[in-house]
Amino acid sequence: MKKTQITIKDIARELNISPSTVSRALKNHPDISQVTKDLVNKYAKDFHYKPNALALSLRTSKNNTIGVIVPEINNYFFSSVLSGIEQIANQADYNVIVCQSGENYEKEVRDTKALISSRVSGVLASLCKHTTNYDHFQDIIDSDIPLVFFDRICIGIITDRVVVDDYAGAFAAVEYLIQSGCKRIAFYSSPFHLEISKNRKNGYLDALRKYGLMVDESLIRVCDTREEAIMITPEILDRPDRPDGFFAINDHCAAGIMYAVKSAKLKVPDDIAIFGFSDGELAKACDPMLSTVEQHGFEMGKNAATLLLDKIDGITHGQYTNKIVKTNLIIRGSTK
């Protein structure tokens, strides 16, 4: 069994013809005689010739690979996005290199460097929670590599972006809570330097204002995990003026709230309604099932990848799109 990959040169040598002829025969060049073509193709097939994509990339300085930087692979929303990206990329014959920043700024910086070195055709990125300096992303752009942000975007850098309609989603969710009878609604958010947090908070605030409800700053908390929610919620439920509704920045957090509420012997949704954000796997597993804002991660991934490919192909040179993926409410049992 031949162990190393066979090259065009090998075929040429064995067949006593020149490498250029082999190359042309393989790509069915009109100048080459059918006899030669058949000979070459047969040999290539028999010995499992596979073109070396590296050599091709070096020549064309374009390697049909896009890099993705994502805070956490192991998160339903992000893995949905990744899945959408993979699908579009694959259709266009691109590979996908995945980098997980792990919510770590230094790792994010290293990832951008690695992707530039790999000469990827383009980069898709979602910021890590703690990123406040964006030089490494500017570096990507200065290297002439198209860049598209998704979800956790930064507005300091001019480029394409794909976000969900965080403001509208939040507004609609809170409005729904209000219309179904909630008077005091708490909001658990991710850190507020993130655009998604700002936008959702604005949606939350505007919904309250529209219906003339008072804003109570003590009901707005930074909390975006199940564990934190289980930790901080009991105290809030203990207050005489406890809220009758919660709007959470993600489903994990909402599930934590639900756990705390049930533990406090309160009823969902009668005593307390809960609204999540994402529609992840766990939403349907909750009892009652979680009402949540569908975030269409898969769609977002497809959109982001499409924008990136257009940029790579130069179709949208110099123009920057701000794509907004519509959200919609999924009403289940955790709200009235």
Binding site for a second copy (CB under 8 A): 1-5, 48, 50-55, 57-58, 61, 63, 65, 72-76, 79-80, 82-83, 86-87, 90, 95-100, 102, 107, 113-114, 116-119, 139, 142-144, 226, 252, 255, 262, 280-287, 298
- Nearer residue to a second copy within complex by CB, 78 or 187: 78
| Phi, psi values for residue 92, rounded to 5° | -95, 10
Minimum distance between the CB of residue 140 and DNA, rounded to whole angstroms? 17
Look at the chain and count its residues.
336
Minimum distance between the CB of residue 46 and DNA, rounded to whole angstroms? 16
Residue 292 neighbours by CB under 8 Å, 6+ apart: 251, 254, 275, 276, 277, 278, 279, 280, 283, 329, 330, 332
139 binds, among a second copy, DNA, none (CB under 5 to 8 A by kind): a second copy
Asked if 116 interacts with DNA (CB under 7 A), we say no
**Among 13, 14, 38, 55, which residue interacts with DNA (rule: CB under 7 A)?**
55
Side chain identity, residue 161: R
> Can you state the percent helix, strand and coil of the chain, rounding each to 5?
45, 15, 40
Question: For residue 125, what are the β-bridge partners?
Answer: 69, 149
Q: Alpha helices, DSSP H only, in 120-165? A: 135-142
| Phi, psi values for residue 66, rounded to 5° | -115, 145
- Nearer residue to DNA within complex by CB, 36 or 95: 36
Residues in contact with DNA, shown as a per-residue x/- string from 18 to 37 under the rule CB under 7 A: xxxx-xxxxx--xxxx-xx-
Q: Give contact residues for DNA (rule: CB under 7 A).
A: 5, 7-9, 16-21, 23-27, 30-33, 35-36, 51-52, 54-56, 58-59, 61
